[in-house]
Amino acid sequence: PIPTSTTILTADLLPHFTRYFSAYLDPNVIAIKIVQLPGICYLEIIRQSKPDEPPITSREQIPLDGLVEPDQPTLDDLRANEAHLKSCDAYDWIMISDLFPEETAYKIADEWERPGGKLEQAKEIGDDVF
């Protein structure tokens, strides 16, 4: 359990996903937040498959290099992590989360990993996709 005195910092990522990844996003996802606590940063995802059923909240670690996870997080730390996550592309997201349906994730992977695809192109120009 998290002590009640712990500062919990959050940022809403759903508008970002709606804007940039609406074609890919699992339609059951109704909320995506980045949560910053002392020593950890994670995604909180809320899904609701049917309007008459209660939503289901999951908390997922974010296996991504470069996240800031200090013992005493600040709003600046949260904003830095938010910016880092917003810089991720669809391929990054299928590697670090399950926000997209499985079939969609496979299509994204196929597009990126095919010969001459986006992954190969990124390697040629020296981009770090992870």
- The band of 67, judged by pLDDT with boundaries at 50, 70 and 90, is very high
Rounded to whole angstroms, the Cα distance separating 57 from 76 reads 26
Give me the domain span that covers residue 36: 9-125
CB neighbours of residue 95 within 10 Å: 16
Task: Compare 130 and 35 and report the one with higher pLDDT.
Answer: 35
- Note whether residue 75 is domain-resident: yes
Q: Are 82 and 11 in contact (CB under 8 A)?
A: yes
> What pLDDT, on a 0 to 100 scale, did the predictor assign at position 19?
97
CB neighbours of residue 46 within 10 Å: 15
- Note whether residue 32 is domain-resident: yes
Whole-prediction pTM value? 0.85
The tally of domains found in the chain comes to 1
- Note whether residue 100 is domain-resident: yes
User: Apex CA 41: angle with CA 48 and CA 110, to 5°?
Assistant: 65
- Note whether residue 3 is domain-resident: no
- The band of 99, judged by pLDDT with boundaries at 50, 70 and 90, is very high
- Note whether residue 130 is domain-resident: no
> What pLDDT, on a 0 to 100 scale, did the predictor assign at position 129?
47
- Note whether residue 104 is domain-resident: yes
Rounded to 10 deg, the angle between the 102-113 and 118-125 helix axes is 50
By percentage, how much of the chain surpasses pLDDT 70? 94
- Note whether residue 4 is domain-resident: no
> What pLDDT, on a 0 to 100 scale, did the predictor assign at position 119?
78
Strands 29-37 and 9-12, how do they pair?
antiparallel
